[in-house]
Structure 1
Amino acid sequence: MKTEPVGGHPTHLRRFGTGARPALALHCSLAHGGAWGPMAAELGDVLTLTAPDLPGHGHSADWPANGSLHDTATDVAAALARRIGDGAPVDILGHSFGGTVALRLALEHPELVRSLTLFEPVMFSAAAADNAPEAADWIGKQARFHNLLDQGRRNEAAAVFHALWGNGTPLDHLPDSQRRYIIDRIEVIRAAEDVVERDRTGLVAPGRLEALRLPVLLAAGSRSPGVIHAIIRALATRIPGARHIVMEGAGHMLPLSHAALLAPAVRDHLGLQARR
């Protein structure tokens, strides 16, 4: 593990696995690159995963004060894909916020991406564009989160966010270091809204998703919020040839909680041999 400039941004890097095929793994909000450990344990015989701490997370620097979190994260991802691919496209795995960065990378730099494996990408604007009723329900829940942040009630805002998107353990039951990590970084959620909610870069504009020409696997947990299933439906309908799986009993943290059960589908998607 080391921190180094990536696309001009001080980025902490982690690498997992010894496989011959390079892959880039992009974590969810309020996590860090180490979250890919469970998936790497299942796929590390065939993949070497490079997992950065995205801007504002882990040991990486914050995004520029006058810049965009999503823009900086995408710049980091593009620079890493070029580096580890050595001129060839690479497989990209993305979870939640990281899934939206992965999707943007494929749309803006298709020459860098061999395949996409997206675990619950929180592209809320895709569900909104599809007029999904779950999107309206989500807006109401998000409004409570915003109101708490506006009032400076960061602990309560973090608790609301974690209850919806965490692993089922209440925030105040987490170890102190993990709880503080989440509370200290809760503003990154708001910092990503320009893309994941308002689609500033037009990722889900008419014709954009339909133009993707690469293998895409979309995975969701059966116990995840309804808006996730609306997002996955919208993406699966619009991305040519996209595969869509639902992992029974899993929630939003499925790459961590259900890695062993997901791995066969990921191997099949990537055209990799099953572990013997």
Structure 2
Amino acid sequence: MTRGNDTRGAYRRAVITGASSGIGEAFARSLSDGTDLLLTGRNEAALEALADELSRDGRHIERLVADLAEDKGRDSLVAVSQAFAPDLLINNAGLGTFGRMIDNEPMSERAMVEVNVVAPTVITRALLPGMLQRAREDERRAGLVMIASTAAFQPLPYFATYAATKAFDYFYAQGLASELEYEPIDVLTVCPGPTKTRFFERAGNGKEPSGPRMSSATEVAHRALRALGQQDVVTIGAGNRAYRGIAKLLPERVLRGPTRRVLRSSMKGR
């Protein structure tokens, strides 16, 4: 079952992780004023400013400062979200660390797995039953959005752990979409390519990648919301869609060499 071409006003309450900046913030701004929001992230000042701005028209906005790399942060978000009773969950929070795995800090490597893999698994499992029950009772459809990445399409040297975690998100969401095919929920896997956010700065590589034009966070959010209810996977950008097709067709060993050379060049530019 599908909605119309624009789902921005279709939801009553949305939970957005990683909402203090980038794509998460763009989702918060892109959803209809009729959708109440629970925004979570680690930057308290940014969350407060965004919540204050979006609530000026009387819209109900809740915010929660939480570190999803820790059990305490995940448990807090689950408890608050269950009381909030969302019909849309956007698993957007993500971490990436650029460099050779053996050179990266062990805690950075662990944090990527905790935020990119453990957090969406724990949060989705906790909230999904209630979302489905409310959707059935209200005869409406719920929504689940998983922000993966074009990094999920193949192993990436110098981004090894990040790419592996995004491959998990990519396949996890598609598996859920199949499991939930006959339930009143739309599941979407979103695969942005390089996007104009602070991701590369925070990943430890200030040099933005060359290649296809970088998308804006707003473009990613708008494209995802248009796709929700219409398809199971959306790859943002024509060049990235072509890359996805190539990655499916060519053996990993063929792609690995050129990819390693490009990313090694980025390492030298640090």
TM-score bracket, normalised by the shorter chain, equals: 0.3 to 0.5
Q: What TM-score results when the alignment is normalised by the length of structure 2?
A: 0.40
Q: What TM-score results when the alignment is normalised by the length of structure 1?
A: 0.40
